[in-house]
Amino acid sequence: MNRLQEECLNCGKKLTGRIDKKYCDPRCKSAHQYKVERERPERFYNKVDNQLRLNRKILKEYNKAGKAVVRQSILEGEGFDPKFFTHYWKNQKGDVYLFVYEYGFLRKKENGNDKFVLIKWQDYMKK
């Protein structure tokens, strides 16, 4: 009976044993699957999830006190992308804060500079 695969798909070593074997050992199987997965283009879901996580990390870093004002260029220089957010909250003045999980931001123009007002989610915002 002929083998389906003559050599290990990862290291190229000659295979022995079962005729449907593709890898010489579990380590080669894992290494090959990892390599194949890394060569695939990043899926849309992963791109969104990665950007949301990065945005949250940046907002958390620049908003340690619960409220802060930061230049837009500084956040965007760190990789922040305001198009990625999880939800929003509208205050009584009509300002719409965009949130990345528990960290929110509002775009403002102050003295000709684009800035973000950063806040943290509060219980009263649930209404």
Q: Which tens digits make up the pLDDT trace of 80-123? A: 999 999 999 999 999 999 999 999 999 999 889 999 999 999 99
Residue type, 49: D
C-alpha to C-alpha distances, 119 to 23, 40, 76, 105, nearest whole angstrom: 53, 38, 17, 6
**Alpha helices (H) along 41-113:** 44-62, 72-77
3-state secondary structure of 3: coil
- Take residue 102 and report the two structure tokens written for it: 């528990």
Residue extents of the structural domains in the chain = 1-40, 44-126
pTM tops 0.95: no
Torsion sign (Cα): 95, 117, 106, 65: negative
